[in-house]
Structure 1
Amino acid sequence: MANILVTGAAGYIGGSVLTEFASQTTGPIKGSTLHAAVRTDEQVKAVSGPGVNAIQLDFSNQKAVTEAVLNNKIDIVVHTASSMVHSLSEMLLNALSERRKVSGEAVYFIQTGVLTAFADMGGWPYGQVKDSDQDIFEKEKGIGDQHPVRQTNIFIVERSKALGVTSYILPAPSVYGRGTGQWRKLSVSIPQYIRTSMRLRTVYKFPDDGAPPAAHISDLATLYTLLVTSILNHAAPPANEDGYYFPIAHRIPWHATMDLIASAMHARGLVDSPAARVWPSYERAADELGLPRLYVRAMGTSTGDIVAEKPFALGWRPEWDEEAKFLGAIEQEVRDVLEVDTVKPTVFAAIMD
């Protein structure tokens, strides 16, 4: 029996992963004890439930993090709380190292990253990248920039190896769909576009089209489940420098998507035109959407020649595709914002959470 800690369990991805783990009726996760790290008393009450031990945890306090990991005998950390602040990962890696010393058993750390770091507009200069490539880590180091996600990835690989922790990095693509967690139900990007469109009474699209990799939240949660199951079954999935897993189910055609959003919102009287207009500038788009100007093009139009192979080797079979399901569910995306949008962070704030 393992003890698994999910951080960011009140968030969109973390909450959905926790729900997926808790719903397992067979396999090694069913026999494990689930722990959920959250920030507030209110979130503790919301996330606690049958089979889930919620912990209010201050990730800036190494003593508190280490005590939480040791007292609950944590073997696996699924870290979804931040992809950009490596100090949070450092606290958890240090704590897992102490757990390994006490238990004498292997410990594991799964980091949620950001896939746009591997696209050209995200600063990736090497062209096509496959998650099965054996030089991804060295290429990330070789770029030598200060991209916060890339710096976090590099730190995790190096620090985990030094501490004897087995690590994995799942760089999240554009994720959509209604989450299944108990707190935050909505993703970052599409709901923010819808909120901004309602405020401006106009749907805007970027001057350049994009087709970023994407996955429905249910498919993404399934991939986390497959990876943790593989770990618990001692199948030794590739880790550390070779531990990159790209969760790509399909791509999102942004211009077509924004046009469908405009049509769906106009039908509800939420915007003045059934057609999307082009932003007058990327700076204006960043300011209205709450995106950092430095990363607005990468976050809004990035495509990249990014290829997923290792998730499928684990047995991942996404149920959501572009044509038959995603584009046909745009009305549902609008409806979700109207029905369950109780937490309304900016895009950048949500990424930092």
Structure 2
Amino acid sequence: MGQNILVTGAAGYIGGSVLASFVTRTSGPINAASISAVVRSEDQVQALSKLGVNVIQVDLSDEMALNEAVVRNEIDIVVHIASSIDSRVVSHLITALGQRRKASGEEVFFIHSSVAALFATEGGWLYGEVKDTDQRFEKEKQIGGPHPVRETNILVTEHAKAQGVTSLNVVVPTVYGRGSGEWRKLSVNIPAYTRASIKHKIVYKFDKDGSPPAVHISDLTALYALLVEKILQKEQAPSGEKGYYFAMAHRAPWWDVMQHLADALHARGLVAEPKVQIWPSDEMAAEYLGFPLLYIRAMCTSTGQLVPVNAYRLGCQPKWDEKRFLESMDDEIRAVQELDKVKDTVFDSILPSSRN
């Protein structure tokens, strides 16, 4: 097969870090591949062009432009990180890959990015503990909609199969740590809490504790790289209905996280006291954090009984654990102070009604 890789969301936190991980390799199959990156603006084109990759400015909702980008650049592997909820983009990319497969006669691959909160009770999951080797796809279909992430997951598997495209689905949990991309370098959750705490001089937590799965950005990018390497080396990896990968390294005990954050902020003189208060309401939390109210419980109080198996079987070895994570809160605060310059657009595609 060819070695042409396309990364979407390449100006984002995760996508940019994945791209950086790919282009900084000095050996191995990814180093020998041709890499293209999709961005939305001319400023992002300028920022990423220095990396020596083929930067494509395209509106992902433009089916014809997206199809042309995939076919003209002879893309064999799409690493889709731009959105987990926009089924139109997923459909366009997979259809274009199907055309590429017919033209080349070679296998093509679509690596999707989903979210772990979908497999928690707050996200509508009804079946308790779940391994990524279980029959999650059939259970997702049984639950059905309306949930844009679940509906997109189902579409990925079904549409890829119909188009002759091999699909893999990386289920992304809470991500933390400094990004290594050229544009957006901050994650979502902890920076949001940090901004709100500094602005209002107080740290809040929800009335319900949660312990969601979590992963450091460097461990997450290592998983994406591992999957792409397996593909390039023509090694077998679970795909399709069996191709889910829970990108979980450890859990994030949220009340403990908030206490560590409060201690670190107070030590810097950024909050009035190290005591963590309960949010007076979900509405206030959504407003202060900038999260959509419709999903705030799933984002901030969920736990989920996820058990990662597939990634570890392939050789994934995370370097960060819970203890190291909790001890890194001062680094998270410093990152916000130094890097909080790019507007967070992660929720721009969610309906406005979900914010209020």
Deviation at 1:299, TM superposition (A): 0.5
Distance, in Å, in 1 between the alignment partners of 2:183 and 2:340 is 10
3-state SS of paired residue (2:37): strand
Q: Deviations over 1:211-255 (max 9, x none)?
A: 100000000000000001011111121111111000010001111
* Residue in 2 that maps onto 1:115: 116
Which residue does 1:282 correspond to in 2? 282
Give secondary structure in 2 for the equivalent of 1:348.
Answer: coil
Mapped to 1, the partners of 2:130 and 2:108 lie a distance apart of: 28
Corresponding residue number in structure 2 for 1:34:
35
Counterpart in the other structure of 2:103: 102
- 1:341 pairs with 2:319: no
**Aligned to 1:196, what secondary structure does the other structure show?**
helix
Bigger mean CA offset, 115-124 vs 20-29: 20-29
Aligned with 1:184: secondary structure? Answer: coil
Match of 1:225 in 2: 225
Matches for 1:205-216 after TM superposition, within 5 Å: 205-216=205-216
CA contact (8 A) 1:289 1:346 kept: no
Q: How does 1:233-252 map to 2 (within 5 A)?
A: 233-252=233-252
Report the secondary structure of 2:348's partner residue.
helix
Q: Give the partner amino acid of 1:328.
A: E
Q: Within 5 Å, give how 1:1-353 maps onto structure 2.
A: 1-133=2-134, 135-323=135-323, 325-345=324-344, 348-349=347-348
- Other structure's SS at 1:37 match: strand
Question: CA offset at residue 63 of structure 1?
Answer: 1.3
Mapped to 1, the partners of 2:92 and 2:255 lie a distance apart of 41
Partner Cα separation in structure 2 for residue 23 and residue 314 of structure 1: 22
Which stretch shifts more, 57-66 or 311-320?
A: 57-66
Q: Does the Cα contact within 8 Å between 1:109 and 1:168 map onto a contact in 2?
A: yes
Tell me the SS of whatever aligns to 1:8.
Answer: coil
CA contact (8 A) 1:189 1:347 kept: no
**Percent same amino acid at aligned positions?**
55
CA distance in 1, matches of 2:325, 2:304: 20
Q: Do the aligned partners of 2:144 and 2:150 also contact (CA within 8 Å) in 1?
A: no
Cα shift at 1:50: 4.2
Three-state SS of the structure 2 residue aligned to 1:294 is helix
Give the alignment's Cα RMSD to 1 decimal: 1.4
Q: Counterparts of 1:15 and 1:150 in 2: how far apart (Å)?
A: 24
Deviates more, 1:94-103 or 1:48-57: 48-57
- Conserved 8 A contact 1:77-1:110: yes
TM-score normalised to structure 2 length? 0.96
Structure 2 stretches lacking a partner, 5+ long = 352-356
Report the AA paired with residue 15 of structure 1. G
Moved over 4 A (4+): none
Q: Secondary structure at the match of 2:168?
A: strand
The CA deviation at 1:346 is 6.6
Task: Specify the SS of the correspondent of 1:225.
Answer: helix
